[in-house]
Structure 1
Amino acid sequence: METDKRPPAGGGDGCLVGVIRIPVKIVAVLVVLPVRVVWELLAAGGRAVHRHVLGPLYVHAVEPLLRALGWLLTTLLKLVFVWPWVGLWRYVLVPVGQGLAWLWRGLYAQVLAPAGRFLTAYVLRPLGEALAWLGRGGMRYLLAPLAKGVTWIGWALGMTLFVWPWVALWRYVLAPVGRGIAWLAAAVYRYVLTPVGHGLGWLAVAVFRYLLRPVGLGLVWLVAALYRYLLRPVGLGIAWLAAALYRYVLTPVGQVLVWAWHVAGRIAGALWRGLKWAGRVLVGWPASRVYRHVLTPVGHAAREVWRTGRAAVREARATVRRALFGTPPVEPARSRARTLGSTTAADAAPADEISLSRRQG
């Protein structure tokens, strides 16, 4: 038989258990458990360093330093680009403009307006009246002298109205105000801006020398120390641990698992073939023999008994009906053949005819 050529599958269970289960348990206890413990220790150490070293360092050192630098930079920018121009506008240009406006209003109210009223009342109106009188009476004899007088008066009025006020305004107002503004600007530059600029330069040098440079050197040293004494050893340790884990743990475990997978596949195939053979021998073949040699004859015999019993019961029921009620009229053969409810064949022989006298008797 085909099953005789296959190796027996029930003799290697103990060896399989010893080869697969025991090495896997040993590898899990000796390798996986220490690696998990080391990983948990490293994770706890990282969380502790972040919680107790890096977090407080950032909160209590780096963040206040950045805030102080931002405030100092904002103050320097205000000192250099905002406050000088605000002070110049507030304390120089605005008062000078207000003084010029007040001076112009006073000049107009106290000089120009009275001069205009005086010229109108005492010069232009009498001059107009005199010109009208001369025009009405003595235009011919006074025209040339009057023309010279009008010319001289016009020149005097022009000088008085359009030249001398602006010359006086320039000489006695604008020039002194300009010299005062220039002197004030020179004084502000000499006694305010220059010392402030020197102070800002010295402050910037001092901040760079005594604050930014030491802080920068400290941060550089701290980063270098962290890299040299913490990050680099930890990275090398992790790399060495990963290499060792891959070389001495994962590779052997993978090889063992691959070998165990192949062995398990072969064992599973052998078990499946054995189960198929056992099912075929213990269940299929006996079932087919029982069905063929026992159930089939018994079924045939039961079917014959059932048919025989049903025919006997039908015949007894017909005999009792004939004995009690008589025989019903027999249909012709053609009509009996066409009856749908008939249980007999169409070519069955017709029953004997019974006369009416016999049926009644």
Structure 2
Amino acid sequence: MDLEKPAAPPVPQPRDSGPEGCLVVAIRIPVRIVVLVLVVPVRMVWDAFVVAGRFLRDTVLRPVGRVLFVWPLIGLWRYVVVPVAKALGRLGNVVLVIPTGWVYRYVLTPLGHALAWAARAVGDGLAWLYARVLTPIGRAVLWVLTPVGLAIAWCAKGIGWLLEKAVTGIGLGLYWIARILLVLPALALWRWVLVPVGKVLAVVAREVGDALGHAWRVAGRISLAVGRALGTLLRWILVEPVSWFYRTVLTPVGHVVRDAVLRPVAEAARSVGRATRLALASARESVRQARADFRRMVFGEPARTEAVDRREPAGRETRTLGSSTTALTKD
């Protein structure tokens, strides 16, 4: 058993923003006050819309969406799209896959083999032509044109060196012109104007962002407190009086009505129902008897058939296991 206490999780340390100047302190407090005043109504309206939207989503939009979209789409997918897709798949297999496989197997494959054999033969002929004809001709031409090629290469090298020097000089001049006219002024503008202005704007933006976050959190707490107060007030004004009225008035009245009115009425209804069923049963029996009497009066008594005793004879005439004489074979 480990008796050592687990190490405590590291506590996040606040961000060290360095020493704050007078500009930061002078900007922070007014910005936070103004932002808090502007954000509190927005946050309260936002929380109200969120609560209303959740209630509307849970009570209206979700059931309506299920009835209007989810169930029809499920039925369409299950009973229309899937059978149609299966039918199209089978049709495509019969119309496209099987004929395509037959064409590939019995037409394209032999044709491809024939084209490959022809290409191989042509390649062998071209290789023989390259090795036996073109190679000797190329070697002869190269032996004749080598001095001319060297001369042309030396001239091209000299021209390239001259062009390189000219381009280098022109590029160096353009570099210094651009550096003096563009780079140095832009560097001075960046260093002495844009950087200080950017630092000031960064401080302002950071403080505004922190103020917005702080104001949003404070507005959330204020909105929560206001919502709880409104909920408590609503419970005091509406819920608890309705609950008290239901417990102290409607429930006893309902019990009295149930015991004094509904139960006697139900018992009387059950008694009437039983009496009605008995009367209907006796009426049906009387009608049945009258029909039987009328049938006997018109057609006479029906012929009676003698009952045949199909049981085995009792006593000594019964079949036994030790005797070969049975009741069926006995005289």
Q: TM-score, normalised by structure 2?
A: 0.34
Q: Decide which structure has the larger Cα Rg and report it.
A: 1
Q: TM-score, normalised by structure 1?
A: 0.31
Higher relative contact order structure (alpha carbons within 8 Å, sequence separation ≥ 6): 2
Higher helix proportion (structure 1 or 2): 1
